[in-house]
A and B are shown apart, each in its own frame.
Chain A
Amino acid sequence: MPVQPRRAALTASATDTVRLSGVGFGYADGPSVLRDINLILAAGSFHFLTGPSGAGKSTLLKLLTLAARPTAGELTLFGEDAGAAPRSALPGFRRRMGVVFQDFRLLDHLSAFDNVALPLRLAGARRDSYAADVEEMLDWVGLGERTDDRPPTLSGGEKQRLAIARAVVNRPDLILADEPTGSVDAAMGERLLKLFQSLNRLGTTVLIASHDEGLAAASGASVLRLEGGRLVGGMA
């Protein structure tokens, strides 16, 4: 397990990792997708975000990854105002998060190794400083024998594991995952959940959006429920 408790002490005692106050979001000339979201994710906490399809789970994750900005309310990440942060400040926020996308967002022209190494390369790390971590992470998600293979040659489950490896390789303070166990079997789903839990124990805040309410309940984590763009239960 390559993950080290980087910044764990800081996140455990410092400000909340995520704070949303009266946050709303809607597309121009369209209905509101999210309304009056009030949410606090304390540093080092673990949450599931559930709700029916179309409830706004993916949109809420888009706001948290700063792929979209709130049209109402305040969004604070790592103690800083992120909702109104200038574009130049976004990489600084994003380098402290790991994101697992529902559609994986893997780069098909890169090998599994290079996909996992991507956040580290983009942060300017030297290859010799991360090669061992990347290899170990690939081993851990069961892709140690496929480091040179490209995503189009991987199965759906393998792509998902690769996407998770990429999200956690830079030891983020916050992990956001959109249906991270949707394409894997139950055994691998349980194994991936344990990965998130072990990262959480090291101080990483975790938010997993999933329609699998059974998995959420079995995890023992706090469960947030979105319906019709509103948080209706399980306030963190």
Chain B
Amino acid sequence: MIPGLTRSRAAILPRDGGGEPWLAAVIAVLCFLACLSAVGAVSADRAAHGWARQLRAEATVQVRPRVGETGTEAAARAAQTLAGVTGVEEAEAMDRQTAEALLRPWVGDAVLPDLPLPHLVTVRLDRDAPASAVSLSRALAEAGVDATVDDHSLWRGEVERSAALITALAVAAFLLTAGAAGAAIVYATQAGMAAQRTIIETLSLNGASDGRIAGLYQARYGLLAAGAGAAGAAAAMALTAGLRFLGGADGVTPALPVAWSDLLMLSPCPLLAATVALVAARITALARLRGGR
């Protein structure tokens, strides 16, 4: 056995024992924040779509009683009419207690008995083929019911716009953190190459190409970022799992319903971090080598 074969191959570049742990810590924190941004975006999108789906499956009808007719009678007649419309699963007149329960958080108990309340019918629509507001209005008009149909499209639009904005902000936060990680790698590569200038010259004079030298820095920072990314993702997974465990399917807050599947979404984080580091280190190293600095 040749003794040299039993030795492990030492890294061609020396370790930067002082700076690399800090760089790893910075990248781990950035990955943690990026993961939280991703979970936040997905949860907000999930909540918004859930709300929009709920709003799309319901309509509210306000009924104005005719002369000689009570509001309760008008609402019952409207509910009966709407129940027969295609695309309606159920129509139910809202009784006063239910209406008061809805208003109680806003106006309190004191004024509720004296407050004139609208006569409402809640309509649950077929999720697959919901009836349109126009068809509901037409059916009510044909039955001689004076009513206004609200298909919640105004709210639905607001919710969808808010969800889109939150998603865009989360994507921007994700890209910014990826950019910050890339900038950290660029700085570390430049600092490392400046500190190891004589080593780089020696490698070059011993036949190393620019690509080979850049590859050494890529390997170093790619591995470092992968490890740091794994640590950041693991911390984010732990937090996400905690939120899911504490909050259940609805989440700690209805605005952020966390799912177990969100944990899987975080698994590519080390790969993404390594990719950012590989690209940043290569571009920086080649630019520096070709610039002769």
Contact = CB atoms under 8 A, between A and B. Distances in A.
Interface in A90-122: 90-91, 94-95, 99, 101, 105, 107-111, 113-114, 117-119, 121-122
A88 B209 contact: yes
Interface stretch (B3-11, B49-57, B182-190, B240-248): B3-11
B202 A107 contact: yes
B12 A118 contact: yes
A135 B2 contact: yes
A29 interface: no
A111 B10 CA distance: 8
Interface stretch (A75-83, A123-131, A219-227): A123-131
Given A94-B207, A105-B202, A121-B12, 5 more contacts: A94-B206, A105-B198, A114-B10, A123-B207, A131-B5
Contacts of B202: 105, 107
B4 A135 contact: yes
Interface in B62-95: none
Interface residues of B, number: 25
A134 interface: yes
A121 B4 CA distance: 13
Interface string B189-207: 0000000001101111111
Contacts of B199: 107
Contacts, number: 76
B290 A87 contact: yes
Contacts of B212: 91, 122
Given A87-B290, A90-B204, A113 B4 contact: yes
CB-CB nearest 3 A-B residue pairs: A131-B4, A109-B14, A95-B207
A91 B207 contact: yes
Contacts of B206: 94, 99, 118-119, 122, 166
A147 interface: yes
B9 A127 contact: yes
Contacts of B205: 65, 67, 94, 99, 101, 105
Contacts of B99: none
A58 to B, nearest CB: 13
A148 B9 CA distance: 12
B210 interface: yes
A147 B4 CA distance: 9
A232 interface: no
Contacts of A84: none
Interface string B1-29: 01111010111101100000000000000
Interface string B260-290: 0000000000000000000000000000001
B208 interface: yes
Contacts of A111: 7, 10
Nearest to A99: B205
Nearest to B208: A122
B100 to A, nearest CB: 79
Contacts of A119: 206-207
Nearest to B14: A109
A132 interface: yes
Contacts of B290: 87
B210 A88 contact: yes
A111 B206 CA distance: 17
A132 B4 contact: yes
A128 B5 contact: yes
B168 to A, nearest CB: 43
Most chain B beta carbons < 10 A, residue from A110, A134, A147:
A110
Nearest to B199: A107
A114 B14 CA distance: 13
Contacts of A123: 207
B53 to A, nearest CB: 58
